[in-house]
Every structure is written in C-alpha cells, then in structure tokens.
Chain A
C-alpha cells in the first residue's frame, strides 16, 4: 500500500513538473512573440502613418488618427499629374540603378583581387579601404562639393553619382564572400583556359550571387533614399532626385505633408520591386553545391 502511495506521488510529481515545464515554455514563447510583435509594429507604424497621411486632406494632416475621417485619393492624383514628380522619379531611378551597377561591379572586382591575388601591399590597401568606413558622410560632402565644382560636375548625374560608384563596405563584403569560394574552382577554370577576368566573371561571380544581391539591395536603397548629397550637389529642380524633390513640396509658410507622404508612398514601389527581384538570390546559396557532398 505504501509502495503504491509512493508510486502515485512520484507520477503526480512527474506530471506536475511536466506541466510546469510546459507552462514555462509557453510563457517564454509568449514573451518572444510579444517582443517580435512590438518590433513589427514599430517598423510598420511609420509606413501605415505614411499611407494614412497620403489619404488625408490638408486640414486633417496634424490629427494623428490612422484612419482618415474623409479619405481621398486627391493627393495621388495631384502628385501623379505633376510633371516634376516623374522627372524626379526618373532622376532617382537613373542615379540609383547606375550607381548600383557600378558599385556591385567595382566592389566585387576589388574584393576579388584583394581576396584571391597575392601582391605586395595587399593588406595595406585593404586596411586603407576599410578605414574610409570610419569617416562620416558629413565630413566628406565639402571635399566632394569642391571637387564637383572644380570638375564642373555640379547639377549633373555624374556629380550625384560619383561618391557612390564604389563603396568600402561593398568591397569588404565581397572580399569576405570570395573567401568562401574555394581556389579549386578558379584553378580548374585556369586550366580550362580562362583568363583572370573571365575566371572572375564566369566562375567566381556566379558563386557569390547571394552576396551580390544583398549588396545590390543595400546600394540601391542607399542611393534611392539619399538626401544630403543630392540636395547639396543639385541646384535646379530638373536635377532633383525624388527625396530632394519631395522635400520641396509646399511653400514658405507650410509644408505639404500629405503630398510628401503621397510621393514617399509611390517611391517605395521600386524598392519593393528591387527587393522582390533579388531576395531569391539571397535565399539560394549555391557555393557549396559543386563541392564535396
């Protein structure tokens, strides 16, 4: 009888400790979800607020209600009928696209050279490139401006683009990724008769597609949303990029937030397209597929 009591107690203890473990696990999961939800809300709120404001009349802009009392698409009609918007959109598209192509190309080229070639001063060059990451953009805009002025690049596409045609961060990122490409691939290509540029382009580059995609997204977004430098280097409204142009909505008395938010909402579309196009390359890791199984 006593033995039976002990057995029952032990089994109830086990049951109790089991359910206590389960409830602790549920609590931990709840906290995790709550934190993630809060983070999600914090990130989504500005976008919701942007969309909400873009659907409001001017008199309602300073009310912080998320759902407009009198929703309107008049702001969209106004912005899309304003010829300047297309011009700025086009400028941003040209600048961001060309800079992305250039930065991805040169960052990958330099990153590859620094990673795969042995030459004197290689480490020093890498450190020099990395050290430029520590200089804030605000410090660079004055020399950039003076340079642009002396070369006649003010108020031109080239003037907006030249600081970004190659990036220290991209070079670092690509160098690190090329480290993961085994030399066997490159040596096999060398024996197969490719020259060094062909090896880089035809063999090494396809193996680091996820990194290229990530870099392309970063560079495109960075240039699409760039504000300070395009604002400084451009003078005429024709050369404004979208963020600079949008900031000019309004007059001396008031800022037209509803129009700015409308323009901002429309301008997020290309970034979404870029992300959707490139994200599949990020997900698909191909480097190891050709190596030992």
Chain B
C-alpha cells in the first residue's frame, strides 16, 4: 500500500489561514490502514482546526467527508454537488488523491494533509516499512522475493557491497543489508547457485528516469 504520514497541524493551520469554509476529505484506502488519512484522522484534524479557529475567535466552518478512494473518478464525483460551498479542501489522501482532486475541481484550492512517503507494508501497528519503489520492471523472481532496489541503500543489483556487516547496512546498524537477506533467503530456498549469476544492467527507463509513467491497457478499455 501507499504509506503516508500525518502533516504537523501547525503546517495545515498555516495553509488554510485565509479560508472560512473548509472540507476535510479523507480516503478509505491505504491512508486509513497507515492511520494517516482515514475517517478517524479526518475527525481528529477537523476537531483540532475547529478548536484553533474558536480560540482565535475566527468564524470557520469545517465539514468532514471520507471517500472510498480519491484516485478514481466515480468516488470523487460523490462530492461534486457540495464542493462549491467550500473555500478550500484539505485532502488526507496520498499525493495521487490530492492531485486527482485538483485536476477534477480545477478552481478549488486543495491542500495536502499528509506527507506521502513510500510503498510499504505494515510490520506491526505503528510500524510501516518500505518494500517497493515501483521501478516498473520487477526483478524479485531472481532475488528470492527481496527487492534490492527499495531495500538496498545503493540499489545494488549484484551485492552486497563492502558496507555490509553482520547482516546490517553501513548507513545504519538497524537497517538490514538487503543482499544479506537475499543470500539467506536463496539459501533457504536451496537456490544459492542463482546468486552466482550476474544480474545484467537494469533498464531504468521504466523507472522515474523515463519521466512520468503510464499503463495503457487497451484490452480492458471500452
């Protein structure tokens, strides 16, 4: 899932300073799971902003809505009949949702309520870690299901480097060496001979280096 982290309330207060009728818009998908932008977080942020406005003696009306997703037309259309009443929207969706909102409601200021951080997994409640960089050409088949692109600090395709020590990365002792994990996993799978194969130069044109990407599936388009 896309992992996001809550923006400091002070930053959001600064962004919305000149608006009087706001919509705090949550998303029921990834940001709900990582507890950054779901219905609960919408309620908490709205309450904090309302209290701040009341304390400052400002007349600000803040509404709360949480959509199923903010990255699909049909869900964003659900607020079309009410969007005109708001001065601005604070979207607690990931960067995708914020941008899709801005594209759809062109004349409405949309502010991000979260910092979108990475594609990751929930290791336990309150701990999310990166697993994928969406490089566009997956090599997990040859690396024992562990991604060196996202988990090796140097993105090495033939590792480990000299900075690997006792299973840890030189950038931080608490960061596992991805290549040590790959070797251990290949050993457990009885495929250590695959480690000997040199990985050829990766085609990075499918990564961000090739500019903004798109997936076109004419077989499913109507």
Q: Do A and B bind each other?
A: no
